[in-house]
Structure 1
Amino acid sequence: MMKKIAAVVAAASSIGFASLAHAEAFDTAVGEVDVSMTATLATDYIWRGQSQTDGAGAVQGSLDIAHESGLYIGAWASNVDGEDFGGSSVEFDYYTGFGSSITDDISYDLQWATYTYPGNSSIDVQEVIGSLGLYGFTVGAKYAYDPSSQLYTFIDYGFDLPYGLGLGLHYGVSDTKDPLDGVGGDEKYSDWAVSIGKTVLGLDLALMYSDTDLGDDCAYSDSDSCDSALTFSASKSF
């Protein structure tokens, strides 16, 4: 049976806690293909420890298509705060990649992603991503190369708890070398998060605490976007 690929939230480095998407499998002339969709309501959209909605709620969705070979493509969208994104109030991400398991406990994923902001294409970002899963840990790097230059390295760890709960830990480091005008500054900072999640009545519920060491050096116009945050989300996969 083909391993179902989780919905890839390309813009989010904080650990989401949606479980593997409930994909529907189709037999085609080129092999088995899984198709999944996920809808999410969240009290905030946290990206690398920073709010993208100025602390407001977020409506998000994804569509993923994965081939049994490990190839996949997908799209993801969320509202964002227009003041911080040059007037654009929505983010659309598109990505493609290849992921596979080496053993039951070791896997890898290689991906290319583009983050787009309709109405302000000057801040669209291209990024390459590589990650390795090892016995519950995930270590990886994301390199944005156009139009800005930023390296993001991260490590995640997730494990099961009693009563159907899951716990996740995340730590990441952003190192921006060539910031976008009006969006960010030359900075190197860390972010971290702790999440707990559970599936209830078909909904993937998650509660996440996140923070950074930015303090008042926030990249966005509202420094509150970099404050610690407690975020609740509910996701449904189709």
Structure 2
Amino acid sequence: MMKKLAVAVATASTLSFATMTHAEAFDTALGEFDTSMTATLATQYIWRGQSQTDGAGAVQGSLDIAHESGLYIGAWASNVDSEDFGGSSVEFDYYAGYGGAITDDIGYDLQWATYTYPGNSSIDVQEALASLSLYGFVLGAKYAYDPGSALYTYIDYGFDLPWDMGLGLHYGLTDTKDPLDGVSGDEKYGDWAVSIGKTVLGLDLALMYSDTDLDDDCPYTSSDSCDSNFTFSVSKTL
């Protein structure tokens, strides 16, 4: 069950390093449920290689509930740069899905998510996701279908390091079929990231380096260029 919650949180946020080891499980007449709440402080909010806070710090939080059947629901929130989001200064994501394991080394996840921006509903996004995890790799695709359409495919790989540390590798490809309202720029670009994390005194610490292959203006922010970024985060899961 912890793996299902981890999938839910990691899917919702690009910068989600919190572990699910503190999730609470409880029995009900409908079966066993796992719940988890996570709070994160980060030096910025990175989404597909681009800062959503214009380089400023981010305060993020999530609530996830998973059933033993594999069904789960959750919500995630973060501050964003209001100039890039039509006056909205916060993003609320809501998602529901189904995940499971085929073997000890192979699993899957199907999810629907909506990304909302209070104060400017015209840029809210609806998205469907499917991913397959196998032997440390995660292969996935996210399809945004409203407004417009855009496909994001990605591959992640994570493994353990000495001293109870973890290393994560990520590569993603954004293919904007129909540019979203107010968005201009390259229709296709790649992003990649390398992250290292460790739990210290109950806090999940992570450092991530991210970059894109964009040379000119960022298509989703007001930045003049999409430079590489180092992002540090501290998370606590209850």
Deviations 1:17-44 (A, max 9, x none): 2222521111111100011100000001
Aligned mates of 2:184, 2:70 — CA distance in 1: 35
Question: Do the aligned residues in 1 keep the contact of 2:192 with 2:211 (CA within 8 Å)?
Answer: yes
Large movers: runs of 4+ above 6 Å: none
Q: How high is the TM-score relative to the length of structure 2?
A: 0.95
Aligned mates of 1:204, 1:22 — CA distance in 2: 11
Match of 1:235 in 2: 235
> For residue 85 of structure 1, what is the amino acid of its counterpart?
F
Question: Do the aligned residues in 2 keep the contact of 1:60 with 1:77 (CA within 8 Å)?
Answer: yes
Question: Do the aligned residues in 2 keep the contact of 1:137 with 1:155 (CA within 8 Å)?
Answer: yes
Aligned mates of 1:80, 1:9 — CA distance in 2: 18
Structure 2 residue matching 1:163: 3-state secondary structure:
coil
Match of 1:54 in 2: 54
Aligned mates of 2:185, 2:229 — CA distance in 1: 22
- Correspondences of 1:45-194 after superposition (within 5 Å): 45-194=45-194
**Structure 1 residue 12: deviation in Å?**
3.2
Number of matched pairs:
235
Residues 9, 3 of structure 1: alpha-carbon distance in 2 compared, 3 angstrom cutoff? closer
> For residue 114 of structure 2, what is the amino acid of its counterpart?
T
Q: How high is the TM-score relative to the length of structure 1?
A: 0.95
Instruction: Give percent identity, aligned residues only.
Output: 80
**Structure 1 residue 158: deviation in Å?**
0.2
**Structure 1 residue 124: deviation in Å?**
0.2
Match of 1:8 in 2: 9
Question: Do the aligned residues in 2 keep the contact of 1:9 with 1:76 (CA within 8 Å)?
Answer: no
> For residue 102 of structure 1, what is the amino acid of its counterpart?
I
Residues 116, 79 of structure 1: alpha-carbon distance in 2 compared, 3 angstrom cutoff? same
Deviations 1:164-223 (A, max 9, x none): 000010000000011122234451000000000000000000000000011213112222
5+ residue gaps, structure 1, are none
